[in-house]
Structure 1
Amino acid sequence: MASEEAFDSALDLLRRLNPKDTAKNVDLLCQIAPSLTEDLLESVDVPLSIRKCKKSGREYLCCDYNRDGDSWRSPWSNEFDPPLEDGEGVPQSDKVRKMETKANDAFDVYRELYYEGGISSVYFWDLENDDFAGCVLLKKSVSPISKSSGGWDSIHVFETIGRGRTAQYKLTSTVILSLGADAESLGSMDLSGNMVRQVEQEMSVEDDSSHVANIGKMVEAMELNMRNLLQEVYFGKAKDVVGDLRSIPSLSETNRDRATQREMISSMSK
């Protein structure tokens, strides 16, 4: 375990740097202080990376929950790349693995309907007393068009505690948003950051498929809520700030419009 003071200092530094470069900054911190590597990778959310499953040929997303050292587990083949004999984070029971497979199929449809592209991956793992936990990953990137780019990464980590005919779900969701534009009229603009929200809910359970449906409903509701908040906070506020600080029309046009407005108000008052 890294020293608490060094770890807090690293997190404090990351909070003051551009969120767009979080992945690069975490990598640099790991090189400077190797003892912080595990703690930083477990605690800091970075944009999801993409790998291709050698067995199925399908792409999947990588995070700390499907990582064991330098190997990553594919949700499609349930195998690590590079191969590991006893990798951690693999579903220990057939029941959890079957639910993981169903969840991957379900969120693949969700991804296509809501994102019209991108990549999704779902990982489950066993807990004590026949309970389980997992994470749902979604990523959509926009290829640079006319010097514009954008990326959306959502990480939904959940824990399920069974209570007979019901189950208690605890969901922690993180959205990482990155937008960039470079135009002659506006100049360079970079809007990057992340948002974290948490919710708990108790829902009825009939069989194992109910867990997949319940988790899907919670993730869908959480993403809708966070998208609305991001629209208000990111886009609404940014538009207000940019509108107050910068003007696309020339100063002479702005002054002429203001003069016309004053003249109209003056004539109406007379």
Structure 2
Amino acid sequence: MADPFDSALDLLRRLNPKHTAEHLNNIIQLAPDLTEDLLSSVDQPLTVRRCKQTGRDYLLCDYNRDGDSYRSPWSNLFDPPLEEERKGLGGVSGGASEGAGEGAVPNDRVRKMEVQANEAFDVYRDLYYEGGVSSVYFWNLDDGFAGVVLLKKSSDSAGSTSVWDSIHVFEAIDRGRTTNYRLTSTVILSLETSDGHLDLSGNMTRQFEQDLSVTSGDASHIANIGRIVEDMESKMRNQLQEVYFGKAKDVVGDLRSVGSLSEGQRDRETQREMINGVRGRQ
């Protein structure tokens, strides 16, 4: 008998990724024992929430979730507040909120890097996306730290809706003067026309690992993470363009050629003559 978890993942891979959250919720209702495993393993389209303390938008994912609450990277507080925050920590803004969920908030050093990373990727978001929302979350590891970089951009124009979601999960393992960075990146892309004649959705996941030097303390980590995320996003964007639009161009070309049939026939005859001429010289 097939493992229920593997079967659930296999099913989700075959369904429209634009509706992953809905499909995931349906599977969880049928198999509640798989809830935590599925939520931590399946990448979903990102959801935006407004931070009540700072008024800034942030993105929700499993990495800033504690039960039904989500931590804002801007205030470091959960919404809805956790029990510890209800006891008097709800008014604390910024820094490391001690007691705001055991193990759910990074220590002072990692939280400081998290703040710097959010500021850096907010600039990155503005430069590359010219809008959208970004969020970065860090957490502690025994031999380093880990985190996730989230980016979301939605566009509604000319009767079409498009959504780009980037999820970059990384581990940074200290190795003396160098740090080993392991990155797993997922991009979820959705394109849809308002008349329903076109609905194109899909996702792509890639992995990357590299050892980089750390010469300027924790500031080097922010620079290194920014560099590998930027490189990965550029590569995945080009690959998605080839997969989505290159394939569509090939299909349309097979259905209806740009040139006339006579021109195509002449090109094929010329090609055959060139091949025969080369063979004749051998």
TM-score bracket relative to the smaller structure:
0.7 to 0.9
- Residue from 62, 65, 76 that aligns with 1:64: 62
Give the aligned partner of residue 164 of structure 1. Answer: 176
Q: What is the RMSD of the two structures over their aligned residues, measured on CA atoms?
A: 2.4
Give the aligned partner of residue 90 of structure 2. Answer: none
Q: 1:20-70 deviations in whole A, cap 9, x for unaligned?
A: 211111111112221121111111111001111110010000000000110
Give the aligned partner of residue 231 of structure 2. Answer: 221
Q: CA deviation at 1:88?
A: 5.0
TM-score calculated relative to the size of structure 1 = 0.86
- Residue from 113, 130, 134 that aligns with 2:127: 113
Q: Secondary structure at the match of 2:260?
A: helix
- Residue from 34, 37, 40 that aligns with 1:39: 37
Q: 1:194-243 deviations in whole A, cap 9, x for unaligned?
A: 11111111111121111000000000000011111111111111221234
Return the letter of the residue paired with 1:121: S
| Separation (CA, whole Å) in 2 of partners of 1:259 and 1:82 | 65
Give the aligned partner of residue 74 of structure 1. Answer: 72
**Residues 1:63 and 1:74: Cα distance change in structure 2 (over 3 Å):** same
CA contact (8 A) 2:152 2:165 kept: yes
**Residues 1:262 and 1:233: Cα distance change in structure 2 (over 3 Å):** closer
Counterparts in 2 of 1:137-152, with a 5 A limit? 137-143=150-156, 145-152=157-164
| Separation (CA, whole Å) in 1 of partners of 2:131 and 2:35 | 32
Q: CA deviation at 1:259?
A: 6.6
TM-score calculated relative to the size of structure 2 = 0.82
CA contact (8 A) 1:66 1:89 kept: no
| Separation (CA, whole Å) in 2 of partners of 1:8 and 1:177 | 24
| Separation (CA, whole Å) in 2 of partners of 1:4 and 1:43 | 18
Counterparts in 2 of 1:190-201, with a 5 A limit? 190-201=199-210
Q: Secondary structure at the match of 1:101?
A: helix
| Separation (CA, whole Å) in 1 of partners of 2:249 and 2:221 | 40
| Separation (CA, whole Å) in 2 of partners of 1:79 and 1:259 | 66
Q: Secondary structure at the match of 1:188?
A: coil
* Unmatched 5+ stretches in structure 1: 266-270
Q: CA deviation at 1:17?
A: 1.6
Identity of aligned residues (%): 66
* Unmatched 5+ stretches in structure 2: 85-99, 268-282
Q: How many residue pairs align between the two structures?
A: 251
**Residues 1:261 and 1:154: Cα distance change in structure 2 (over 3 Å):** same
Structure 1 stretches of 4+ with a deviation exceeding 6 A read 262-265
Give the aligned partner of residue 268 of structure 1. Answer: none
Q: 1:169-190 deviations in whole A, cap 9, x for unaligned?
A: 111111111111256xxx7122
CA contact (8 A) 2:69 2:81 kept: yes
CA contact (8 A) 1:48 1:153 kept: yes
Q: 1:79-104 deviations in whole A, cap 9, x for unaligned?
A: 00011124255344211010000000
**Residues 1:11 and 1:88: Cα distance change in structure 2 (over 3 Å):** farther
Q: Secondary structure at the match of 2:73?
A: coil
Q: CA deviation at 1:77?
A: 0.4
- Of the structure 1 ranges 12-21 and 218-227, higher mean CA displacement relative to structure 2 is found in 12-21
Q: CA deviation at 1:264?
A: 8.9
Counterparts in 2 of 1:113-262, with a 5 A limit? 113-129=127-143, 131-143=144-156, 145-181=157-193, 188-206=197-215, 207-245=217-255, 258=260, 261=263
CA contact (8 A) 1:147 1:181 kept: yes
| Separation (CA, whole Å) in 1 of partners of 2:201 and 2:266 | 42
**Residues 1:13 and 1:263: Cα distance change in structure 2 (over 3 Å):** closer
Give the aligned partner of residue 101 of structure 2. Answer: 87
CA contact (8 A) 1:140 1:151 kept: yes
| Separation (CA, whole Å) in 2 of partners of 1:241 and 1:199 | 32
